């Protein structure tokens, strides 16, 4: 169930009371126990629910959840430092109410209730740790066959929304591009911090890099536009009890090039060696799945636009070079930084973007 434009939503953990949650789940709750919390751009608070004895005989069409995760922005300091986190929380809530009900071939957490306000977005969902799911460690590399499972699910999402845009869904505004551009303004303050890995000259060159970033966002090929997860990195996936990938953190979905999701997922999930060895195999698997699930038939061998758009999409990994400390662990950030730089080098991303003819002025 969901609500839109709620007049007031909990802003700090103390606001998450038994009465409040009970009113959303439709059951009388006696007590809530906060068992753990994960703080970040979108914080996850985990609760164990004890129901009121008077609620035991209440008719219900589904089992009452005893363990839930409530996701939102509960840190006023985070909002002040990184204001766009509110839009991410709102987007996550909108996913569960407006997108999730129509997805048929993707695995994601079961949503129980969601709502947005002008200052908050909340999503109440199942606690995956109680359903046999596991999560990626801070630093890991997975077999390419695992990544194939991920890109096949992304192909399902892409096929469902292929060729559509914000014009078709005005409420799905692009919150990803502004967030990356906002983070890019602090480039020197972030990438030159003590302990950060030194960048190759072709990436560190502010003039060329900034021009490439602007052109990357402005010149994406509309042939490949669809709805993206937007942020399918290694920290936003989980594994079900049977080993399938599920996708977390639906706070950055937007319309852009399909290959954004594919290269972003691939780069963060694979070692550099395995990405180099298997990326074309993974790409072919994605293209075949996209067509099988209702999308277009794309041919990387005979359609040069496919490979150009695929290679330039590695610019999406720029986020791992500019992400401020504290939003991911230093261990994860160091590994993903290395993988992103290697992909930039292998695909000559900046050179490719800057070498393309500029679109004619309209």
Hey, what domains does the chain have and what are their CATH numbers?
Answer: 2-130 (3.30.200.20), 134-355 (3.90.1200.10)
User: With contact defined as beta carbons under 8 Å apart, do 286 and 324 qualify?
Assistant: no
Average pLDDT over residues 214-227: 96
Tens-place pLDDT, residues 277-290: 999 999 999 999 99
**Any idea of the CA torsion for 340, 342, 346, 350, to the nearest 10 degrees?**
50
Look at residue 55 in the predicted model and tell me its pLDDT.
Answer: 65
Point out the least confidently predicted range of 31-40, 88-97, 204-213, 269-278.
204-213
At residue 177 the predicted structure's pLDDT band, cuts being 50, 70 and 90, is: confident
- Beta strand pairing status for 120-126 and 67-72? antiparallel
User: With contact defined as beta carbons under 8 Å apart, do 325 and 331 qualify?
Assistant: no
Tens-place pLDDT, residues 33-53: 999 998 877 889 999 999 998
Tens-place pLDDT, residues 234-253: 999 999 999 999 999 998 99
Sign of CA dihedral 276, 277, 280, 282: negative
Share of the chain above pLDDT 70, in %: 92
User: With contact defined as beta carbons under 8 Å apart, do 333 and 184 qualify?
Assistant: no
Residues 42 and 82: their CA atoms lie apart, in Å, by 11
Look at residue 207 in the predicted model and tell me its pLDDT.
Answer: 85
Mean confidence (pLDDT) of the chain: 90
| DSSP SS3 for 285 | helix
341: CB partners within 8 A, 6+ apart? 197, 199, 200, 203, 321
> Does the pLDDT at position 2 exceed 60?
no
Look at residue 15 in the predicted model and tell me its pLDDT.
Answer: 95
Look at residue 198 in the predicted model and tell me its pLDDT.
Answer: 75
Look at residue 168 in the predicted model and tell me its pLDDT.
Answer: 96
> Does the pLDDT at position 163 exceed 70?
yes
DSSP 54: G
At residue 330 the predicted structure's pLDDT band, cuts being 50, 70 and 90, is: confident
The closest alpha carbon to 156, from 99, 109, 105, belongs to: 105
Look at residue 5 in the predicted model and tell me its pLDDT.
Answer: 47
At residue 107 the predicted structure's pLDDT band, cuts being 50, 70 and 90, is: very high
At residue 75 the predicted structure's pLDDT band, cuts being 50, 70 and 90, is: confident
Q: Which two tokens stand for residue 182?
A: 């906002």
Q: Which two tokens stand for residue 356?
A: 């393309």
> Does the pLDDT at position 61 exceed 50?
no
Tens-place pLDDT, residues 183-192: 777 677 667 6
At residue 136 the predicted structure's pLDDT band, cuts being 50, 70 and 90, is: very high
> Does the pLDDT at position 329 exceed 90?
no
The closest alpha carbon to 233, from 244, 254, 255, 248, belongs to: 248
Share of the chain above pLDDT 90, in %: 71
> Does the pLDDT at position 85 exceed 60?
yes
Residues 289 and 152: their CA atoms lie apart, in Å, by 6
Higher pLDDT, 184 or 267: 267
């Amino acid at each position: 169930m969901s609500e839109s434009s709620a007049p007031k939503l909990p802003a700090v953990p103390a606001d998450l009371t038994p009465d409040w949650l009970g009113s959303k789940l439709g059951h009388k709750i006696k007590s809530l126990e906060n068992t753990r919390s994960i703080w970040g751009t979108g914080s996850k608070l985990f609760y164990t629910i004890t129901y009121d004895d008077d609620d035991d005989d209440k008719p219900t069409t589904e089992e009452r959840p005893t363990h839930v995760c409530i996701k939102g922005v509960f840190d006023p300091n985070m909002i002040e430092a990184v204001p766009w986190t509110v839009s991410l929380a709102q987007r996550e809530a909108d996913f569960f109410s407006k997108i999730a009900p129509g997805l048929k071939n993707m695995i994601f957490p079961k949503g129980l209730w969601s709502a947005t306000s002008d200052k908050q977005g909340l999503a109440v969902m199942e606690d995956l740790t109680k359903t046999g799911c596991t999560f990626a460690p801070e630093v890991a590399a997975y077999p390419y066959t695992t990544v194939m499972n991920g890109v096949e699910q992304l192909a399902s999402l892409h096929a469902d929304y292929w060729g559509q845009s914000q014009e078709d869904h005005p409420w799905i505004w692009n919150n990803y591009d502004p967030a990356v551009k906002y983070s890019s303004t602090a480039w020197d303050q972030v990438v030159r911090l003590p302990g950060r890995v030194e960048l190759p000259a072709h990436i560190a060159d502010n003039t060329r890099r900034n021009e490439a970033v602007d052109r990357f966002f402005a010149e994406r090929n509309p042939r490949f536009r669809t709805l993206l997860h937007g942020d399918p990195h290694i920290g936003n996936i989980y594994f079900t009890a049977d080993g399938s990938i599920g996708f977390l953190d639906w706070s950055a979905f937007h319309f852009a090039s399909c290959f954004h999701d594919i290269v972003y997922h691939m780069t963060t999930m694979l070692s550099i060696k395995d990405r180099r060895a298997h990326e074309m195999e993974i790409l072919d698997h994605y293209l075949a799945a996209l067509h099988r699930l209702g999308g277009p038939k794309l041919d990387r061998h005979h359609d040069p636009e496919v490979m150009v758009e695929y290679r330039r999409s590695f610019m999406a990994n720029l986020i791992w070079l500019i992400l401020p400390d504290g939003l991911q662990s230093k261990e994860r950030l160091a590994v993903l930084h290395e993988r992103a730089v290697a992909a930039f080098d292998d695909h000559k991303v900046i050179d490719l973007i800057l070498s393309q003819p500029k679109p004619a002025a309209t």
